[in-house]
Structure 1
Amino acid sequence: MTQDPQVRPIQPREKLDFKLGSGIPRFWNGGDPFKTRFFDAMSLTFPIGERYFISTVRAYRDQIADPHLLQEVKDFTRQEAQHGMVHTEFNAMLEGQGLNVGWTQRFLDAKFKWQLSTWSKAFNLSYTAAAEHMTAMMCTTFMERPDIIKPFDTRMRAVYTWHSIEEVEHKAVCFDVLTKVAKANYFTRIAGLIYFSIEYPIGNWFMVNRLLKDDGFGFLQRAKMLLKGAWWLYKPGGVFLPALGYYLSYYKPGFHPWQHTEMGHYETWLNAYERTGDPVMAAEAYSAQVMGVS
């Protein structure tokens, strides 16, 4: 089987040390509360969300005849499990800062259990494939922008760089199971993205507001932060609008995730990690390339 040169093989990496227990600042994203809690709200969704993603693709495991795709599902599962473990460790640090992490985990656990018990297998997997598309988009939206990653604490930049690298590696797995094994039609595929595109931002904004409230900011302070944050995210040339074409590509009837190439300095990260075994050092090598630092 000839491998598409754009395809980046899935490589599960385990027992990574991001040094998360060594004094990460409360507002680790350039001292900005909103920008910090925006990413922290994403982290809160990962442990339970990753378990849900694994469940949706495993529901079709016994129907997968292609050994290559079956191995990709196994490697996807291992990567997602590691993401959940690392973000669980980070979320525990947030709890140590006095943030009410517990309610988010209870809510998400109930939400995803409801989805698994109520929705069809195909629509659950469609939701996951859509989430993987959005995550891969954010790998480009965030990690290829020096203005966004430069203010990060070094260790948090390492976490999100590694997470993005692996999201790119496995971005097509759920899509392939959805279209080749579940044989979902175009409407089912698109419906998952439409639902996710509405639901996820609402949930993220709600959690950001709750986190800022836990930080002790009053209503007017939070309103000002949220308005300023919305402008940062959605203004022309801001965080998301430059990636609009990437997002809309999913709606094309002939779309496939490998039509995009993300993480332009992927090889830099991979080579540095293989040389050092240290995800923090690998992220710094990657970031130096993104930021044009020799």
Structure 2
Amino acid sequence: MPAAISYSETIVPRENLDFGLDASIPKYWYRGDAYKSRYVDAVQLSFPDGERYFITCVRAFRDQITDPELQVAVRDFTRQEGQHGMAHTRYNQLLEAQGLPVEALLDQIKALIARRMRIYSPQFNLALTAAAEHFTAMLAEAFFAKVSTTEGMNPRMRAMLAWHAIEEMEHKSVAFDVMRKIAKVGYWKRVAAMVVFTKDILGISYSITNRMLKADGYSGPERLWLHIKNLLWIHGPRKGVFGSLTPKLLAYFKPGFHPNDQPVIHNYRSWVDTYERTGSPALACDALLAAAHR
């Protein structure tokens, strides 16, 4: 029986990227659609606090790591996640300027993280981090493997999300390796963490989207209709942002699963090569989309 193929990429921290995010970004920057814009806004709102949580969970085991290669991977993972947090903090400041109750929304996210840290062991929090990293790496495929998903996005927002997606694919296995090799987390704890994380991300994304739309002036019945109308956009089995990823999500439940079992998206190298040549995340995003499936 042939050996399984392992897919891994070099983790490259790219720092101080300028996406040109300012007040000229449209309020509804995703196809002019209030729901789609606010749904992605809701998901990304959690990134700064989420990235700090991930770093904390991995660092809890850093002193036990003796493998030099894994030490370097953890260092570069931390640097990438730190940059993601700073970029999304800047965007969250723009959301606050639009009149959204950003601090109150962040309190909801911080309360969830604080609860995790209070009631779960360091091993289970690390397992939650590994689950989240698998999920965010999948989102790279959901949004950037094909052109149609990001059509109508503001180009500056799209460039920021593309950069984040590329780096999530690069460090997709770091938390998992620390969890498995250092924290010695077993199969049942690993899959239980994925169930908990999936429940949390679905619940909080809907809740915060709803609160954002309420702040935008949408009534209760209007918000309910928007949620219903967009169910297939999110959960549709073939074209839904999350629904189309069900096979990759279920792969996590295989006993011998490793993140490197799954390759990065086919157009990953187009982004990396263009960024290395130009230093421009905007041009790199254009190259990524030019190589995407039609």
Secondary structure of the corresponding residue to residue 95 of structure 1: helix
Q: Which of 249, 258, 263 is the aligned partner of 2:251?
A: 249
Segment of structure 1 superposing worse, 177-186 or 99-108: 99-108
8 A Cα contact 2:156 2:282, kept in partner: yes
Amino acid at match of 1:129: A
RMSD, aligned CA:
1.3
Q: Which residue of 1 aligns with 2:128?
A: 127
8 A Cα contact 1:20 1:155, kept in partner: yes
**After the TM superposition, which residues 40-55 of structure 1 pair with which residues of structure 2 at under 5 Å, given as runs?**
40-55=41-56
Give, in angstroms, the shift of residue 90 of structure 1: 0.4
Q: Which residue of 2 aligns with 1:220?
A: 221
8 A Cα contact 1:269 1:285, kept in partner: yes
Give, in angstroms, the shift of residue 291 of structure 1: 5.6
Amino acid at match of 1:276: T
Query: Given the alignment of the two structures, is residue 233 of structure 1 paired with residue 215 of structure 2, yes or no?
Result: no
8 A Cα contact 2:191 2:253, kept in partner: yes
How many residues of Structure 1 are paired with residues of Structure 2 in the alignment? 289
Q: Which residue of 2 aligns with 1:286?
A: 288
Q: Which residue of 2 aligns with 1:64?
A: 65
8 A Cα contact 2:144 2:288, kept in partner: no
Amino acid at match of 1:229: N
Measure, in 2, the Cα distance between the counterparts of 1:286 and 1:112.
33
8 A Cα contact 1:165 1:263, kept in partner: no
Measure, in 2, the Cα distance between the counterparts of 1:19 and 1:291.
27
Q: Which residue of 1 aligns with 2:109?
A: 108
Amino acid at match of 1:132: E
8 A Cα contact 2:48 2:84, kept in partner: yes
8 A Cα contact 2:140 2:165, kept in partner: yes
Give, in angstroms, the shift of residue 58 of structure 1: 0.1
Query: Given the alignment of the two structures, is residue 259 of structure 1 paired with residue 236 of structure 2, yes or no?
Result: no
Secondary structure of the corresponding residue to residue 260 of structure 2: helix
Measure, in 1, the Cα distance between the counterparts of 2:34 and 2:264.
28
Structure 2 residue runs of 5 or longer lacking an equivalent are: none
8 A Cα contact 2:236 2:244, kept in partner: no
CA pair 265-93 structure 1, distance change in 2 beyond 3 A: same
Secondary structure of the corresponding residue to residue 290 of structure 1: coil
Measure, in 2, the Cα distance between the counterparts of 1:272 and 1:5.
25
What TM-score, normalized to structure 2?
0.95
Q: Which residue of 1 aligns with 2:273?
A: 271
**After the TM superposition, which residues 104-253 of structure 1 pair with which residues of structure 2 at under 5 Å, given as runs?**
104-239=105-240, 240-253=242-255
CA pair 43-203 structure 1, distance change in 2 beyond 3 A: same
What TM-score, normalized to structure 1?
0.95
Structure 1 residue runs of 5 or longer lacking an equivalent are: none
8 A Cα contact 1:150 1:291, kept in partner: no
